[in-house]
A and B are shown apart, each in its own frame.
Chain A
Amino acid sequence: MLSIENLHAGIEGKNILNGINLNIRPGEVHAIMGPNGAGKSTLSSVLAGKNEYTVSQGSVYFDGKDLLEMSPEDRAREGLFLAFQYPVEIPGVSNTNFLKTAVNEQRKYRGLPPMEATDFLKFMREKMDFVEMDKSLTSRSLNEGFSGGEKKRNEIFQMAMLAPKLAILDETDSGLDIDALRLVSNGVNKLRSKENAFVVITHYQRLLDYIVPDFVHVLYKGRIVKSGTAELAKELEQKGYDWIKAELETQNA
């Protein structure tokens, strides 16, 4: 579904990603961990097409198509979704209106007619129950004045509405209380299918107790330096990153 090969990218002349290789097949959940500043959010931004970042080397294919050639909106319409680490606020634009526009733009891309207003509202109610979103949040301006946790939950709600093929969750768990964490994880688990895939970026093993990954990768200094199964995350939780750094140093020496 997604194949990243030797991806190098940076911003304003500074290299951040230094040769990422990653293959994701339908039905898989990949967790990406790694210390602060390792390049996890940069990787998700580059995949989503944020134009401040420059790709200097490598390739990314999404369902056989050259992802790096596509505009950010086309990547989304092809089924790539990013739950932002820091969701932005858009004053005056209601959550509902925003989602209606997004859903209908994506439908248009797929040659479908816009959704009828009543169908849309019904669909939205269904998905709201899914993450137990408070109704009042949908009529409010997009993310404006939302608490940190509400913003994160809203990202998952949007994901449920847009039903992407590949969803990247960038630290969606940070800022969530224990109940919300369970809700959000349940939401993700319910959306899991043989056809779609998830990349879960997190600092904490706790999330991975709920969303059990097929693979865990450690990103460090812009490179995936270690990959393993769910066990690796548990090991990291216990030992931290120092032993990996040490391993790397002996390799390089």
Chain B
Amino acid sequence: MTEASNIIDQVVSQEYQYGFSTAIEMETAPIGLSEDIVRFISAKKNEPEWMLNYRLKAYKHWLTMEEPNWQNFNYPPIDFQNIIYYAAPKEKKKLNSLDEVDPELLKTFEKLGISLTEQKRLTGVAVDAVFDSVSIATTFKDQLKEKGVIFCSMSEAVHEHPELVKQYLGSVVPYTDNYFAALNAAVFSDGSFVYIPKGVRCPMELSTYFRINAENTGQFERTLIIADDHSYVSYLEGCTAPMRDENQLHAAVVELVAHTHAEIKYSTVQNWYPGDKDGKGGIYNFVTKRGTCEGDYAKISWTQVETGSAITWKYPSCVLKGNHSNGEFFSVAVTNNAQLADTGTKMIHLGSHTKSRIVSKGISAGKSHNTYRGLVKVAAKATDARNYTQCDSMLIGDRSGAHTFPYIEVANSSAVVEHEASTSKIGEDQIFYCNQRGIGTEEAIGLIVNGFCKEVLNQLPMEFAVEAQKLLAVSLEGSVG
């Protein structure tokens, strides 16, 4: 048996591939957080008065709040005065085209497998690349413009589309929502902004790639996606960070608004640095993601593949306001070594005939802990609401843990809420069976885990499904035990 654990250990201990950092001249805010820092960030971005005021209100509110402590794990206290809230590559002058972007930056994204240069871009995917605090480049802007699709950095949107930003920013996740959302509203640096006009089916996948590079920096990006009536968009977010010994904070906010008959598909492949085998370093991933189905028949679908971060704490949620609106959550969360993940979703049924579906697959290896926490809430006026939840956990080795906390609050008796859960262990027998057919142990784990997650991986756009499969195999390398 101990020998078996050795194999699992070897398989889970593969190195993080994206741990390099880029040597580039940076402009940073002084360390720590104060009203001055908020003003500094706003000034750096040349923001209009209304934006600054919004930030200041959020900051003042944040000061009155306390850090939450209800999650199923402990982490060392975060010293909010020991974080740099703004870091940007030093620009010599205003950039007019990609050719003027620092070649070091282009190289960094190249190394991450994301090409921003015209010739080599992923075909059919428009990319917005965010490096530390600022957006570096958004590709395919012109083609999108023809269709009336707006896809740009948040800072740009504040200047070019102030009406839309004013109307929607904070409409789904107000700064009063939670501690990290308030912090984000005060200091957010950049992120992506998407607007799909009425009746438009966005002609390509939109994608944002986040990279934390600078030391001691927090990343607080803000994403806002609005799909107007009868429109459709599929959006993908990817992220990595260098290996550093100290923990870094990532506190993003993502807001989605789907109007009547609109559909937003939001996929995340999260691969932040998870820390080393003993749990040193890694990203704290405290993210608020929420979408509102404003109109009737609107649909929001979250798909996430979470493999990175030291601590992940996120609950992409759907507020189903429109009648017949539909929320989906498909999740794969993999934890290994000392990682902690507490993730799940909230489905808030407000409209009648609203539907939601939750499929969560948690895989824990090493001595990690993986928690599913989900809330299904059916309001009194939501007649004929339906929810189906399926929560499956898989344990690799015998030192890891899986926990499931489903919360159900139903105030309308016509609701049908179903919950199914299972826990399984990758059996030595399964691995041995694969071995006996000539399949090595790492391959076998990859095969078994991908089989376990198939339902969720099938939701991802093709290009990313392949990526995600590889990522699952890599993040579990050295995990058999």
Q: Which residues of A contact B (CB under 8 A)?
A: 48-52, 71-73, 75-77, 81-82, 84, 87-88, 90-93, 97-99, 101-102, 105-106, 109, 141, 158, 162
In chain B between 448 and 471, which residues have their CB closer than 8 angstroms to a CB of chain A?
448, 450-454
Are B439 and A73 in contact, CB atoms less than 8 angstroms apart?
yes
Of the residues A72, A88, A97, A162, contact of B429 by C-beta under 8 Å: A88
Are A48 and B436 in contact, CB atoms less than 8 angstroms apart?
yes
Are A141 and B451 in contact, CB atoms less than 8 angstroms apart?
yes
Are A109 and B451 in contact, CB atoms less than 8 angstroms apart?
no
Are A98 and B447 in contact, CB atoms less than 8 angstroms apart?
yes
Are A162 and B438 in contact, CB atoms less than 8 angstroms apart?
yes
Please report the C-alpha to C-alpha distance between residue A76 and residue B443 in the assembled complex, in whole angstroms.
15
A residues near B4, Cβ cutoff 8 Å: 51-52
Q: A52-B4, A71-B435, A93-B451 are in contact. Are A88 and B440 (CB under 8 A)?
A: no
The interface bits of chain B over 189-232 (1 if a CB of A lies within 8 angstroms of the residue's CB, else 0) are 00000000000000000000000000000000000000000000
Are A90 and B438 in contact, CB atoms less than 8 angstroms apart?
no
Query: Which 8 A-B pairs have CB atoms at the shortest separation, nearest pair first?
Result: A92-B451, A93-B451, A72-B435, A102-B437, A76-B438, A106-B438, A92-B454, A73-B435
Does B433 interact with chain A (Cβ within 8 Å)?
yes
**16 pairs, A vs B, C-beta closer than 8 Å:** A49-B435, A51-B3, A52-B3, A52-B428, A72-B436, A73-B439, A76-B437, A81-B436, A88-B427, A88-B429, A91-B451, A92-B454, A93-B451, A105-B438, A106-B438, A162-B438
A residues near B443, Cβ cutoff 8 Å: 101, 105
B residues near A51, Cβ cutoff 8 Å: 3-4, 7, 432
A residues near B423, Cβ cutoff 8 Å: none
B residues near A99, Cβ cutoff 8 Å: 437
Of the residues B437, B441, B454, contact of A162 by C-beta under 8 Å: B437
Does B1 interact with chain A (Cβ within 8 Å)?
yes
Does B430 interact with chain A (Cβ within 8 Å)?
yes
Q: Which residue of B lies closest to A97 (CB)?
A: B447
Please report the C-alpha to C-alpha distance between residue A27 and residue B286 in the assembled complex, in whole angstroms.
64
Are A158 and B437 in contact, CB atoms less than 8 angstroms apart?
yes
- What's the nearest-Cβ distance from chain A to residue B170, in Å? 41
B residues near A75, Cβ cutoff 8 Å: 436
Q: A50-B432, A72-B432, A88-B430 are in contact. Are A93 and B448 (CB under 8 A)?
A: yes
In chain B between 1 and 16, which residues have their CB closer than 8 angstroms to a CB of chain A?
1, 3-4, 7
- What's the nearest-Cβ distance from chain A to residue B249, in Å? 35
Instruction: Report how many residues on chain B are interfacial, defined by Cβ distance under 8 Å.
Output: 26
Are A76 and B447 in contact, CB atoms less than 8 angstroms apart?
no
- What's the nearest-Cβ distance from chain B to residue A4, in Å? 18
A residues near B428, Cβ cutoff 8 Å: 52
A residues near B438, Cβ cutoff 8 Å: 73, 76-77, 102, 105-106, 109, 162
Please report the C-alpha to C-alpha distance between residue A105 and residue B439 in the assembled complex, in whole angstroms.
6
A residues near B437, Cβ cutoff 8 Å: 76, 98-99, 102, 105, 158, 162
A residues near B7, Cβ cutoff 8 Å: 51
Of the residues A72, A90, A162, contact of B430 by C-beta under 8 Å: A90
- What's the nearest-Cβ distance from chain A to residue B251, in Å? 34
B residues near A72, Cβ cutoff 8 Å: 432, 435-436
Please report the C-alpha to C-alpha distance between residue A106 and residue B447 in the assembled complex, in whole angstroms.
16
B residues near A87, Cβ cutoff 8 Å: 433
Interface centre among A77, A84, A105 (most CB of B within 10 A): A105
- What's the nearest-Cβ distance from chain A to residue B459, in Å? 14
B residues near A90, Cβ cutoff 8 Å: 430, 433-434, 447-448, 451
Q: Which residue of A lies closest to B448 (CB)?
A: A90
A residues near B429, Cβ cutoff 8 Å: 88
A residues near B454, Cβ cutoff 8 Å: 92
Of the residues A50, A73, A81, A91, contact of B440 by C-beta under 8 Å: A73
Are A88 and B441 in contact, CB atoms less than 8 angstroms apart?
no
Q: Which residue of B lies closest to A93 (CB)?
A: B451
Q: A52-B4, A88-B433, A92-B454 are in contact. Are A73 and B441 (CB under 8 A)?
A: yes
Please report the C-alpha to C-alpha distance between residue A232 and residue B430 in the assembled complex, in whole angstroms.
36
- What's the nearest-Cβ distance from chain A to residue B414, in Å? 34
Q: Which residue of B lies closest to A141 (CB)?
A: B451
Q: Which residue of A lies closest to B440 (CB)?
A: A73
A residues near B450, Cβ cutoff 8 Å: 92-93
Please report the C-alpha to C-alpha distance between residue A49 and residue B437 in the assembled complex, in whole angstroms.
12
The interface bits of chain B over 9-50 (1 if a CB of A lies within 8 angstroms of the residue's CB, else 0) are 000000000000000000000000000000000000000000
Of the residues B3, B439, B441, B452, contact of A101 by C-beta under 8 Å: B439
Of the residues A82, A92, A102, contact of B439 by C-beta under 8 Å: A102
Q: Which residue of A lies closest to B427 (CB)?
A: A88
Please report the C-alpha to C-alpha distance between residue A49 and residue B431 in the assembled complex, in whole angstroms.
12
- What's the nearest-Cβ distance from chain A to residue B477, in Å? 16
Q: A52-B4, A105-B439 are in contact. Are A84 and B433 (CB under 8 A)?
A: yes
